[in-house]
Structure 1
Amino acid sequence: MAPFEVDWSELPKDLLGSVLQRLPNVVDIIRFSAVCTSWHSVAYDKSYSSAPQLPWLMLPYKLGHEGKETRNFLNLSENKIYQIKLPEIRHSRCVGSSFGWLVILDRFCHALLMNPFSGAIIHLPPTETFPDVLGVNGSKPSGEIDSYTIRRRESYREYSISAARLRVELMSKALVTADPLVDNNYMVVAIGFSGLAFCKAGADSWTQLDRPNLENGRL
């Protein structure tokens, strides 16, 4: 008699979702998603929420390692460091994280959301729409951005600044108001060199929160 064989990829989604909801560690969820295509789809299906997870901490890279494609993450529940390959992180700067998503400024100072576990990427509005960024100039023949023109509010003077330098100055901190996989009405809020700005899901530009209007109780 032939041994009984089970095609694990054919298990019902509800059963897989029930298993997913009981996994205690994000590492287990990653392993779950790697079994096959059907398991992967359940792992990132917003209908099935996993058990509450302790956050992972992305450790700062060492000086001179900003060109590497890997970053180290500390798993607090295991007190263990994992190295994850993230090609998009090369020459990039992380300015915040929320709900498992990183807010990244890439090497050309383009803002994006990246989920380091699923690999999902959401591009945010163009940098030239950020408050007091006036435009892009000096594009190289290859199409790579060379510099931006910005305005300093304290002097109202215009400056040309390299993409690498603007990547340091554009945002000091950013957060996401909800998990984009669960809530389509999320926003990204950033503290920039010209004040507080935000963009809504699907928006094509950044919007500045005007401080005088906030003081008057209006938006």
Structure 2
Amino acid sequence: MADWSQLPPELVVLIAKRLEAGFDVLRFRSVCSSWRSSVPPRLDPHLLPIYLPYSRRLSSYHHRRIHITRNTFYLIRLSHGNKAQAPACWFVKIRDRTDGVKMQLLDPFSDYNPKPLPENFPKVLDLSNVQVLELGHEYIGQYKALIDHPSAHIYRDYRKKVVLLRSNSDSNDFMILTFFQCLAVRRSGEEEWVMLENVKDISDIISFNGKFYAIDYEGRTTVIDQSLNVSFLQQHAGTSRSRKFLVKSVDDLLAVERLLNPVVHSSGGPMSNCSGFRVFRMNEEEQKWDEMKSLRDRILFLGYRQAISAPASEFCSGKGNLVFYLKGFSACGLMRVFDLETGTASPLENWPAYCDLFWPSPQWVNSAESVISSAQVSSNSTHPITSAGREAGTPSSKCSFTRTH
């Protein structure tokens, strides 16, 4: 067997620079001390004491520290050992362990723990033999604000999307962007936020190709480079007053517009109902949005704050050009599937190949024995999940969650 610790140092460094997934970095650093020293651990914003941006317009709000957490989206697959049979799949979101708190299993379309958990749901998942594909991340800034009130002090919990932008892969320097009454940018190592108060009504934010992008409900797109120069795309994306998502799909930046039709609730009050989606691709050369008629082999998942793009070939049926979303904006909404090819929406139950993809967890997950004994070794495109976080020896392949009922 080859002694990997004896690889030339310059080759180890070249390999390390190509690692992107966090668990790949962890496993790489766990091989030996020389490999560990070749890849220093990355500094993430949840390790820093970060305070919310201050706005004079909200002088009644007292400063509170932001606690930034990172959630990671995974596709977990159980191979049947038969290439002709599609693997069983499960789409999950896992909150990283922070401040002594174990990993938390979350609904991928919200910030909530799935409830109730089945009685036979394992407290620890051994994922060493299943296939796990990392699909993306989201950063959430959580804080409590104390609001002065004539009768009593009021505490309110807030959660804001935070976007991370690293200056380069070899540096621990980064910038973060969030939206708190206005866009706010802060560099690592600095105390003050830079406020962009002329940018309002933000629908979504993202980092892409070394820049920040923010899109508002009118479809206007703001571009912020690393020198904090602000520009705007010439063309708006979509129609006015509709929810818009920004998502990286392979090498493209997409804007996804959720079209709404006004309807009347049974109580007589106004409501809105999703009538479809439009997808736009950013044309970097001409600095405008081009509408796309098809996603081809891609699938989009639209959550409460984050949109995820994934290849359809990694899933149960392999059919792409689909958008998965919740009907309504609460965690208890009904799962729907929009087919961009036909322009029609239908309940998830109409797509049998995907019915076990989301919560509740499929039976093969609830049975820890089947996960350990029946799964196959992962392919080159997959990454075993580990929550060990240690820096020497073989990484643990067991994922321990905070279990709540």
TM tier relative to shorter chain: 0.3 to 0.5
Structure with bigger helix share is 1
Of structures 1 and 2, the larger Rg is shown by 2
Structure with bigger strand share is 2
User: TM-score, with normalisation over the residues of structure 1?
Assistant: 0.40
Bigger relative CO (Cα 8 Å, ≥ 6 apart): 2
User: TM-score, with normalisation over the residues of structure 2?
Assistant: 0.24
